[in-house]
Structure formats: structure tokens, C-alpha cells
A and B are shown apart, each in its own frame.
Chain A
Amino acid sequence: MLLYTAQSNSGKGTNLIIISFLKFIAFNFNKRKSLNRYLKTKDGWLNFSIGLKTEDNSLQYGISFFEGKVTVTRAIAHDAKAVMIFKNDEAARRLLLGTPTDIIYMLLKSDVRIDGSVSYANIFSFFISVLFHGIQKRAMKAERNKDDKTVKRQQPKQDKQLSDEIRKRRKERLQGSRDDANVLFLDDPYLSQYSVDDFPRLQLFLDDHLTKKPAVCGERAYLLTQWYRENGFEKDSSGNKWDPIVRNALAYKYMMENRKSIINTDSLLAGTTTSKPIGCPVYPDGSGIMIWNELLTIPYRTYNPFDIDDQTREVLHFDVFPFWLHRNVREWVRDKYNNPLSQQLDERYALYFNWKQATISHTIPNFPKVMAMGTLGMIQEIHEELNKGCGEEKQNCLTAMILCLEGINAYAQNLSKQAMGDSNREQNPQRKQELLTIADICSRIPMHGAQTLHEAVMAVWIIWIALHMESMNAGLSLGRLDQWLQPYFVNDMKNIPLEKRDEYIKFALELIGDFYMRCTDHFPLTPDLANFYFGGSSSDQAITLGGITPDGKDAVCDMTYIFLKVTEMLSVRDPNVNARYMPGVNSDTYLKRLCEVNLITAATPSMHSDAAIIKALTPMGYDINDIRDWSATGCVEPTLSHKHFGHTNMQMMNMVAALEMALNNGYHPLTKLDVGPKTGRVEDGVFTTFDTFFNAFTQQFAFLVDQSIDYNNKLAEAHQLIRPTPLLSAFIEGCLEKGKDVTKGGARYNSSGTAIIGLADVTDSMMAIKKLVYDEKRYSFADIKKAVDSNFAQDVVLLSLVHKKIPLFGSASDEAVAMANRITTWAHDHYSKMPHYRGGTYATGFWSMSNHVAFGTLTGALPSGRLAGKPFTPGLTPQPFASKNLLDNIRDVARLNPENCNNNIAFNVKVVPSAIESRQKTVNDMFSYVKTYFELGGMQMQMNVVTSAVLRDAMAHPENYRNLIVRISGYNAYFVTLNRQMQLELIERAEYGI
């Protein structure tokens, strides 16, 4: 490949390379039939043009695809769908000659930006890949090998002692006593006699889960597209405008009737979310078409590689994606609002990321209802509402709900038939019997109410699949399954003779374990860009355990401990287990068990205080009984179970960007965007008091918040038109009575929740500025600004001062805590006064998922002493050098006002158990930290119980740590699947011995 070797530093040289490159593409696509065919889809020729230019116009070209003909032009067409703007000549060369990973980094770092439609730029990128995927694959492989070699060189010898230690943790298990009023049957609630070795079925599932590569599954996308192609999207076949909710329900029903019914090998639960053993469903109506450019290379990328078969690739490229090219929420906003500023800012990756471009469904569906009355009961209830008489909107909404529920019933019937057929072919008598049981259950469930635990779990699983066929697999969460399943468990136990109860408890463990493993049968279809942002994240299906009942009593029950035992035995990333604890109500036995499971699994569950959550949510005007029934959603965020559409991960907001803009008079250094309010130049000495600077920061922050909410509102409109969710609405209280979809405010409670990132970094920066410039007057603000701009290259003294002598958040400093509270108060008050399109409020959260790493990479040095490109702290965790004393961290975080954190927080603590202490002592120490933290008012805490030495060994020798889970901020991930930056961030976290 001559093109790949030709390099020159002169602008002229670059011009030559670019034009040769484009002409080479044009030539090949024009002449080679095998390539040319990619230009024509089911909707006809892909007609569009793309521009390429540098910021200073040193080069400028266009390439157009029209009726199967590719031409290269000297000028960029006025109607170019997207213009790729390079920072400079060199960036242009690197982009065209680089690997797909290079391209992502260039986009992120603003070496190239896209003006216009990202989707069209993606198609262009796919065409490049069609031509060069062989080279790209080799380059990706070389990149990976090089990286592997580097980490292996740093840590050439594997340390078996380290990897064995984690495994050995499982062997020693404490016993518990029956101290919880609602534990009725478990003599040892810790169920210490069991280990995963007692469940061959679960071990099999685990092996599959950890070894099988997920595959892209086009089934859902294909069936929906097929229906829409036949019945119309904007208008129906007779030319009448569709009510989107009815249209979506009809298409949904068709899909559910026609999708494959699969009974998993050896599973006690029927049905799958995709047609693959482990699949990535495609949601082209959301963000699915983001992977268009990766259709050929996705199996070869370093992080989260997915298989894709030829048929799926062809269907997606020629049929599905073209249909949705303008019918996805993101492009809809671009078309309707002419590429608004709020969308452009989002697409620069460094300021905020609005999740609504992918999904809105971070919520908790009404499982207790379907368990109790079945889908038929729900349909009956909807009919009764319809019979009361209602307007067209309500009638359509309710009809749509019925259609969706009928779709589920059809699917369950198909599963029943499939199980029956499978049982006929099955040779093993035990399995044959299981299949017959499954066939029997699915013939009644979820249509009718459940009678047994097995039936109830089957109902949950089938509904779970069904909801994921409507809403994207990102953050939809399971709620308080221990509470909702306990009555069925109790009922079963009562009907069982005493001597068989132990056996039944074992069955319950196996069943719940099976359910966990079903939840791992799907994976979000992340574009490679998202591996950078959300590395290692699964679909974050949160389960919530324990806490108190709606009337304030102890909710910990037998099923709580059964779920905890399964969590301990499987140690899987998903479901994301969240445990509630109410000081003064829940027992020490329970809290100690949470700590023991956390110790054994190294990372889960995440623990929450009910008292703090109640404090946080009460001012929102919610009913106290509903608040007490809260569940964690996605990562950590509170949703009032099945009554609340809280889209709790509406956005990831980079608060540090506001700080950078305040330091630069509204200009954002990395993106070079000069869009913020003109709050004044530090160098001009305009900030005469600390408050004047704080005010500049809040003005910049307000600008970003307002822009992000503008985009959120526009995306919301798109959701209402493109993807209303009548099925989900049937599972959220309020929608039935109001006759309104959840996307339009049908739920009883409405809100949107934010994740504001960088609280510790901003607080510490503010502290450094306040102390050094205004209180002690040791430095001028301009000097600090200069040091920050030069990444402290000449300012080691200042850097050291900030690290060692400034009272930082987490150092037991009243002043730093007051500063953090000042910032969270401002954020909370500003967000909560914004009008909400569904009639609720915006809730503020201080956690970061994984974006503290991503946004950190895209941010310069800070007055807090954090160097350029380094991660922010996870969630709101104090900086590692804030204090050597963990208690200082705990106390300071506990002193944050919960009312400002009504979308929760993530406080990450890395503790390292002593090799010589007993299990009991280690658990007791963890327990003491957590209990005190909660008694002091703390809201949420999650512990990684692993040393940096283990993590370093795992980085170099991943094969020994396949299922080592770690908490990033709010969610779990397998450490070995994380990108390098995230791995290093975990390694560098402060480590406290216990």
C-alpha cells in the first residue's frame, strides 16, 4: 500500500496524500463491483457528500457519493452532510492513515471535529473500512500486541500467590445468626454451607459467560424494520399519519410474535434477549447506527470485541441502518433543529454527554403487579379504564399497552411450545422433566398470576426480555426483587414438609443464580468510542436488596440472604447488586453479611443508607411510603419503585469543564470552543475576591447546564415521536390513569437525574485558589493560572504546596467540606429550578460511572494539583493525597448535605485486607467503617477489596483474573476488560489497609 507509506511534513505533501487517498477510494468504489454494491441499499443509492478540511483551510476537499458514483472535488459541496475539520495538516494525515482507535482519540482530543451529521461521517468511515479493513485489522492487532507486550514487560512474572488469594477468599465463610425478624426459614442466613461447587449448572453458565464472545444480534432491529417498511413509519399504508404509540405497539407485537423462542441449555428459565448465546441487541432507533463504521472491524477491536456474522452485517448495512438513518433520535434533533449548539457541544465529548441520545429507560418496572395479576389481569384493568370512556390520546395509549402485552403473551406461548418440543427430543430424563415444567409454566406465565417462586421468577425474566425488546439495554433496573419474591418463597416453604426444606433452599439458590446468569445473556452494543467512555460497563441492571418496607419496618428477609449468597457465589458484573441499610432498624448481622460478600467478591454490593436517601428525597414532595420503597437504578440512583420515571442517568456532566471555562473567560481549551459567557480574564485581575471567581464558575456551569437541558428537551421530543414505550408505560404506575406514555409524563412521579462529575477536583481547585490567592496571598491568581496552563512544569513548589499544605476535601477540613457543600448547593438549586418537560424536577447526583477517566483525559491541569490528562477522582471520592487517614475521608463525605445529592453519590474506597488477620476481624473492621459512615449521615459507599499489586498482576496476566470484578464508580466491571486508563486509575486509588 503505497498510500500508507507516503508521508510528508509539508502542507503540499499532505494535500497530495489526501487527494490521492480520496481518489483511490473513488476509483475503487467506481470500478470494483464488490465495493460499489455497498453504495446501494434497500432504500436506493446512498447519496451524500462529505467535506474534509483543516481549521486554517490549508486543505479542503469534498467527496460525493451519488447514484453509485464517487467523485472527489476541490471544493466542499454546500449541502455536504458532514465536514471533517482537522486541527492541522498532520492531524489530517494521521486520521486517514491511522487505525480506528487512533481516529477515536483524535475525535476525543479535538484533533478532528465533525461539523454536521455524525451518522454520515460514520458511513463515510465505513466505506473507508470496506476498502481497507484488512489493513485496519492488522493495525489493530499490532496495536494490541504492542500494548500486551508493554504491560507484560512491566510485570513479566505472574504472581500466583496474588491470584490465588482472591480465589481462596471463597473458601472461608462466616456463619450468621437469625437476628432479622423476617428471616423465617434460614437457620444460617449466611448460607455458609454452600459454594458454587454445589451447583454444576451455575458453574457451566459461568464458564460460558466468561469465555464466550458476545455477538451482534440483528433480530430485533430486522423484525421492526421489516414491519415499518411494510406499514409505514411516518404514515400508515393508507397515507394517514400514525399515532407513534400505536405504530410502535403494532410493530412491537409483530416482533414478539415472530422472534425466535429459545430455551437455554440447562436453564430453568425460558427465553433469551437475543438469538445468540450472548448477544448484543441493536437499537437503531436510538444510537444503534453508531456502530455502522465498525461493521467490519468490531470483532477485532481491543476492548469489547463482538462477533458479527455476514448475514447480520449485510442486513444492518443494506436494510436496517439506512431505514433509521434519519429516524433515530439524534439525527431527528439535528434535522429538526438544524444541528443546534446544544447538540454540537455534546458531540465534542469533553463537556457533557446526554444519555437520551441512546435511551431514556433508567427506571424500575412493576414486577409485583405482573406477578400478582399476570398480563391478562393487566389487560383486563386497561379494558376497564378504556370502558370509562376517554379521549383519542388516552385511547391510543391504552390500546398500545394492550397490544404490547399481547405480544408478550404470544412470545410466552411460543416458549411453551418450544420447551415442549425440546423435551420430546431430550434424552436426559431429568432435563426432560425440567423442560416439561418450563413448558407448563410458560403456558400460564406471565399471563396469569404466579403461585410459586419458580413461576414468579419466570414472570420476571420473560417481562425483562420483553422490556428490553422495547427499550435499550442500558440502565433498566430490576428493583427490590428480594421483597417481591419473598411471599412466593414463604408460600412454597410452607407447603413443603420440613425434611425437604433444605433441598428447596438449595433450589431457590440455583433458581436465582440461573436468573443472574440469564441477565448476562445480553450486552450493550457499544461503539468503540463508548469503550473509552463507559469501558467495561454492562447494561447495569441494578437489583436492590434489604432496607426498610414502605411502612418503615425491617425489610431484610430470607430472599435478601438468598440473593446475597448468589451474589457471593457467582461474583458476576451484572446484575449490579445494591444493598440498602437503615441505621437503627436493620441488624448488624445483615450489615456484616454485606461486608463479607463485598470482601469475597472484592467489589459488590454497593451499600446505601435509607436514612440519607429519605433525607434527600423528602424535599422533592414524594410520598414517604413511596420513598421508603426506593430502588437503585443503573448505577446507584434512587427511583421510587414502579411509580417513577426518573431517567436517572440523563447526563454525565463534566463540572470541571465549567471550571476550565471560568479560568479562561468562557473558552474551553481542549475543544477550542469559545462559547461560554465572558466572565473575565484571570490575567486582567478582574477577580478581586474569591466570590467573584466562584461566581464566574457558576456562570459557566449554568451555561453548560442550560445547554445540556436544551439538548435533553429536544431529544425528549424525539423520543415521544420516534420511540414512545407503551409496554414500559404499562409497568409504571400513573400511565394507565393518565392514559399517557412515560415519555410524555404518564408516570406518577417524574424527574431526570444527572451525574455531575469532578466534585472533589473542583472543590480542591477552589480551596487552592481561595487559600493561596485570597486568604494567605502567597500567589497571584495569574501565577496559578500560568502554572495550570503549563501543567505545573515550572511550578513544583506550588504543586507540592497544594498536595501537602492545602486543606482538601477528605482531609477533615471544615472549610473544604463547606466548599463542597457550597458547590453541590449551587448545582442542586440551579438544576431544580429548571422547568422539566415531563412535569417533574432535575435531581443532582455526584457519581461518575466511568467518565471521571474519560473527561479527565480531556482536561488540562487543575489548581487542585491534578495534572493534565489524569483522571478525576471517581464519583466524589477525595483525592488520594487528601489524607492518609481513611476516617477523614469517611467523615467529610458523610458531612455533605444529602438534599443536594438527590440523585445519589458514589464514594469509592479501596481497602486491603491483612493477610494475617482472621476473616471475622476483617469483616468487623469493614462493618465498623460502613456503619459509622452511615450513622454520621453518609449516603452511599462502595469498597474495592483488592490491592494495587493484584491489579497490576491482573493487567499483565488477565488469564488468571477472568472474573475479578471491580467497582468503577457505581457499576461493576471485569477488571481485565477495562481500557488501560481505567485500569491505571483503579491502581492509583488510595489504598487503606484493614
Chain B
Amino acid sequence: MNKALILAIKGNSLDDGPGIRTVVFFKGCPLNCVWCHNPESKRAVVELSWDQNECIGCLTCTTVCHVNAISKNNTFFINRDTCTLCFQCVEVCPSGAMAGVGKYMDVNGVVNEIIKDKPFFDTSGGGVTLSGGEPTVYMQFASELLKALKKIKIHTLIETGGYFNWDEFEANIAPYCDMVYYDIKLIDDDEHKKYCGVSNVKILQNFKNLVELSQKNTIQLMPRIPLVPEITATKHNIEGIAQFLSECGVNHVQLLRYNPLWPEKCKKIGISPELIDKKLTQWMSAEEYEQCRQVACKNGMQM
């Protein structure tokens, strides 16, 4: 059976769609946003992570590593060049500081983990959210999963960055999806290339297609702008996106508050975070958020 690399399945989410939801995080993403708040979800490979805060310093891991990749002297504890990803250290780690990131699962496996949360979906009007990474990287798998969920009457939502093949999406995802959360990060294509690693042309076109589709069937569409200080949370970008949305005939958007925890997460998987701005280390203030909200409102958007 078709398998996908799953980063995590997290229950009891109150912020990823209506009601109480279980979120399936896929691992792997075609974009490469510098601020990605789930940096461990970017690469579509299994990785090893080490959490300094959880580590009790017992060094049990060093006793089982046969390539001596683990040492306190390494910048991020693990020498990733020598590590063979055998995960022996994860087995013996008493604190859970050493952990494997990503697990190949089949659809049944995912459904079985989710099904126990169904009573909570039913009372709260919640359901399952596919997130990432980018779920459409695993188009066929996501399709099967959504189909299976719809079969047992679970509300489905997909969070996507929009960088996918439209025809495949239309055929495999859209029919089984109740809602789409669609991220539009930067309206200027050069900036998009600079900060997200790819052009936004496909993303914007797919959005237009989705708007058309949502007018024909019951799929609900919610565009979202992740607010990143100095990058996406600028007047011209929000204005630009709002205008684009208006042109598409959409007059609502969700603004996502910036989350500064990602640099710490980078370290866990051995990456030095590239901090572009000091502001990226802080939570967004209520005033900043309000300014962004007003820009969007002024340009005809409802929240």
C-alpha cells in the first residue's frame, strides 16, 4: 500500500479549522520559506533530532553510536555528516531528547490513529486537517486518506501552500475535501522567489482555479497570510494580496500571527537558522497585528 512520510499526528488542535481537530503533518515541501515554523517538515526524508531542553546529559546515546557521531563538542550534538541514521540512540535515550523525525505510514495506520478522536470531532464539529510540510507532495496518499476519512463521515480540511499540479489536485483532493486553507505568502514574484525559493505564479493560478471550483461545489476556501515581520507583514504585500483576492472575487482572509519558535526547532535537526531580522526572534505585538489587520480591512477584506 501507498505510504507517506508523516511528521506527526497531533490531536486536540483548536486552531487548525473548526472544532477539535487532529492534524496530520506530512514531511516534505516544495517551498523553502526562510521563516518556516516547522523547519523539520521541509525535507522529505527521515531525520534525527536532538532536543537540548529534554536532554539530561546522561550520554547513553554515545555508548551505542557505532560511528561516534554524537559528542558534546559537536555544534548541535550530532555530527550529521557521519550519522548513519540507525536510530540506535533513539532506542536507548531515556528522556526522549533523541528522536526520529518522520515515519512512513500507510493510510490505514493513519486512520487508526485518528479514529479514536472521532467522538471529539462529533461533539465539536471538528475533524481532520492535513498539514505539513505540504500534503500535496503525497497527492495519491492524501487522496486515499481523505477518501477514507469521508467514508467514516469525518470533516476534512487541507492546509496547502498551493504549489501543486492543478489537475491532480482537482481530481484527487478536491472531491474529498470540505475545506481548504490556502496560504499566500508574497504577492511579488521576485520576493517570493527570494524568500520561498520558488515562483508564485503557479500558486496564484491554482488559487484562481480553486475559487472557481469552490463556486461550483461545496468546498470552502479560506486564504491565509502568514505574517512575518519585514517580509510578508508589510503594507504593500498585504495590499497586493488583498487586491489579488478581490480580483478573484474573494473578500475574506485570515492573518496568521508570526511564530518565532522556529529557530530553536532548526537547531534540533542540526541547522543554523538564518535570521534575517531581529524581529524574527520575537512574538508579534498586538499593535503590529492590528496594523496588518487594518491594511487588509481597508482593502476590502473581512476577517
A880 to B124, CA, bound (A): 25
Asked whether, in the complex, the Cβ of A928 is within 8 Å of the Cβ of B126, the reply is yes
Chain A residues 948 to 964 lying within 8 A of chain B, measured CB to CB, are: none
Asked whether, in the complex, the Cβ of A800 is within 8 Å of the Cβ of B124, the reply is no
A914 to B14, CA, bound (A): 10
Asked whether, in the complex, the Cβ of B124 is within 8 Å of the Cβ of A925, the reply is yes
- Nearest Cβ in chain B — how far from A936, in angstroms? 6
- Nearest Cβ in chain A — how far from B287, in angstroms? 14
Asked whether, in the complex, the Cβ of B12 is within 8 Å of the Cβ of A885, the reply is yes
A925 to B122, CA, bound (A): 12
Asked whether, in the complex, the Cβ of A796 is within 8 Å of the Cβ of B116, the reply is no
- Nearest Cβ in chain A — how far from B260, in angstroms? 17
A128 to B116, CA, bound (A): 63
Instruction: For B113, give the chain A residue with the smallest CB separation.
Output: A812
- Nearest Cβ in chain B — how far from A793, in angstroms? 14
Chain B residues 45 to 73 lying within 8 A of chain A, measured CB to CB, are: 54, 56, 58, 60
Asked whether, in the complex, the Cβ of A891 is within 8 Å of the Cβ of B116, the reply is yes
Chain A residues 796 to 813 lying within 8 A of chain B, measured CB to CB, are: 796-798, 800-801, 803-805, 812
| Residues of A close to B120: CB separation below 8 A | 887, 928-929, 932
Question: Given contacts A887-B120, A936-B119, is CB(A925)–CB(B14) below 8 Å?
Answer: yes
Partner pick for B20 among A801, A803, A891, A928, CB 8 A cutoff: A928
A887 to B119, CA, bound (A): 10
- Nearest Cβ in chain A — how far from B109, in angstroms? 16
B73-115 vs A, Cβ < 8 Å mask (1 yes, 0 no)? 0000000000000000000001110000000000000000000
| Residues of B close to A927: CB separation below 8 A | 123-124
Asked whether, in the complex, the Cβ of A994 is within 8 Å of the Cβ of B14, the reply is yes
Question: Given contacts A886-B12, A928-B124, is CB(A798)–CB(B94) below 8 Å?
Answer: yes
Question: Given contacts A800-B56, A886-B12, is CB(A925)–CB(B20) below 8 Å?
Answer: yes
| Residues of B close to A798: CB separation below 8 A | 94
- Nearest Cβ in chain A — how far from B66, in angstroms? 21
Interface of B is mostly: loop
| Residues of B close to A796: CB separation below 8 A | 56, 58
Asked whether, in the complex, the Cβ of B94 is within 8 Å of the Cβ of A887, the reply is no
Greatest chain A CB density within 10 A among B20, B58, B123, B124 is at B123
- Nearest Cβ in chain A — how far from B97, in angstroms? 9
Question: Given contacts A887-B11, A887-B117, A925-B20, is CB(A797)–CB(B60) below 8 Å?
Answer: yes
A797 to B96, CA, bound (A): 11
A799-838 vs B, Cβ < 8 Å mask (1 yes, 0 no)? 0110111000000100000000000000000000000000
- Nearest Cβ in chain A — how far from B172, in angstroms? 30
| Residues of B close to A885: CB separation below 8 A | 10-12
- Nearest Cβ in chain B — how far from A968, in angstroms? 25
* B19 interface contact, C-beta 8 A: yes
- Nearest Cβ in chain B — how far from A864, in angstroms? 15
Asked whether, in the complex, the Cβ of A800 is within 8 Å of the Cβ of B123, the reply is no
Question: Given contacts A796-B58, A925-B124, is CB(A804)–CB(B95) below 8 Å?
Answer: yes
* A593 interface contact, C-beta 8 A: no
| Residues of B close to A159: CB separation below 8 A | none
Asked whether, in the complex, the Cβ of A804 is within 8 Å of the Cβ of B116, the reply is no
A888 to B20, CA, bound (A): 13
A994 to B126, CA, bound (A): 14
Asked whether, in the complex, the Cβ of B123 is within 8 Å of the Cβ of A928, the reply is yes
- Nearest Cβ in chain B — how far from A804, in angstroms? 4
Greatest chain A CB density within 10 A among B19, B56, B94, B96 is at B94
Chain A residues 895 to 915 lying within 8 A of chain B, measured CB to CB, are: 914
Asked whether, in the complex, the Cβ of B119 is within 8 Å of the Cβ of A800, the reply is no
Asked whether, in the complex, the Cβ of B124 is within 8 Å of the Cβ of A924, the reply is yes
- Nearest Cβ in chain A — how far from B63, in angstroms? 12
A925 to B120, CA, bound (A): 10
Partner pick for A932 among B94, B95, B119, CB 8 A cutoff: B119
A796 to B58, CA, bound (A): 8
| Residues of B close to A992: CB separation below 8 A | 12
* A243 interface contact, C-beta 8 A: no
Asked whether, in the complex, the Cβ of B94 is within 8 Å of the Cβ of A800, the reply is yes
What would 29 A/B residue contacts be, using CB atoms closer than 8 Å?
A797-B56, A797-B58, A797-B94, A798-B94, A800-B56, A800-B58, A803-B95, A804-B54, A805-B94, A887-B12, A887-B117, A887-B120, A888-B11, A914-B14, A924-B124, A925-B20, A925-B124, A927-B124, A928-B120, A928-B123, A928-B124, A928-B126, A929-B120, A931-B123, A932-B120, A932-B122, A935-B119, A936-B119, A993-B14
